[in-house]
Structure 1
């Protein structure tokens, strides 16, 4: 091992435990989570679904109820792996208690059951379910999708470097293209094309900027 290799190993070996302490201390001092991914995701999906419904036509109340409740049974919220089916059941209980009529509840349940899965090759049976599905996938593309990946990735895959993140983003692009190609409404198709192009551009820029690391590795 050369002196330079030793220095690199020493510095990186000391920054890792320091970073662990910093994150723990930061959360201990905070009265809110360092980042509430699920809350952010649900709000963005609901807003995006409403945006689509207003342009494509659809029952806005059903879309909003389904949007806010679509991840109510996610494992992180005390739910199950089959969060679409379980979420539909929980949604019905919540909405009945709120006095929502059964026809609306049934429509909300269908949308929630149907929103799972990253790709589709045919439209769903109702517009409300379709725009919820599209909204849930659109937030996985573009700058929003990138930020969610980075912020949530810190929790899910601790220890990732920027180079690791850049590699994951690059590997995700083929799936992102399939997600974008699964959109059915014209509004969602246009949004997906724009967001996919932006994600590709950012991925290329990130790879280019991080290429200097080859000089010291």
Structure 2
């Protein structure tokens, strides 16, 4: 019952998102997290709720941690609420220098979210996000932003160097590390091909 209720809450929150953080993204993260959990273990209920709610707290798309807190407070125990909030508040990349996840459940949900940021879907989401936030597709004269820099000009293609090509080595679980290999190689080839076509080669 709680999962169905949470699905509806999350669908409503993401209903008008066109930044790559729509409900389809949430569903993919949930499925991947549950798939990883079948091999790695963990509390499936915590994993599923955290996966469903993780972007409701994302400030980039108008979310807040307090919104997740308010939703969970009458529905789960204090211990579970704190666990889910800790996962969600620790998930963001933010330059790749965040402290490691403390629980297996957090590691699994973070891995699932990062897997959806790479590969073919990751490429599509990157350009969708750039369009939503008025960033250019590519500007060769720019250099990749340094960790923590959110103000310097950037482009969709620079995002690969700034974040996406780093994610393979930041996976927590062995299952996710294996899954990330093929997706990473696909992105490497895409970036090479993109630059060739951009330059007219």
Task: State the distance in 1 between where 2:17 and 2:84 align.
Answer: 31
Which residue of structure 2 lines up, in the alignment, with residue 72 of structure 1?
Answer: 56
Deviation at 1:48, TM superposition (A): 2.2
Equivalence map 1:77-92=2 (5 Å):
77-79=61-63, 86-87=64-65, 89-92=66-69
1:100-141 Cα deviation digits (max 9, x unpaired): 223322221221121122525874221111111222222221
Is it true that 1:37 corresponds to 2:23 in the alignment?
A: no
Q: What CA RMSD, in Å, does the superposition of the two structures yield over aligned residues?
A: 2.9
Is it true that 1:200 corresponds to 2:188 in the alignment?
A: yes
Q: Indicate the SS of the match to 1:140.
A: coil
Which residues of structure 1 form unaligned runs of 5+?
1-31, 80-85
TM-score (norm 1): 0.66
Task: State the distance in 2 between where 1:112 and 1:45 align.
Answer: 13
Which residue of structure 2 lines up, in the alignment, with residue 12 of structure 1?
Answer: none
Is it true that 1:176 corresponds to 2:164 in the alignment?
A: yes
Q: 2:32 aligns with which of 33, 48, 65?
A: 48
Larger Rg: 1
1:169-194 Cα deviation digits (max 9, x unpaired): 26623643322111121011112222
Equivalence map 1:14-163=2 (5 Å):
35=18, 37-39=20-22, 40-75=24-59, 77-79=61-63, 86-87=64-65, 89-97=66-74, 99-118=75-94, 119=96, 123-157=100-134, 160=136
TM-score (norm 2): 0.71
Deviation at 1:60, TM superposition (A): 1.2
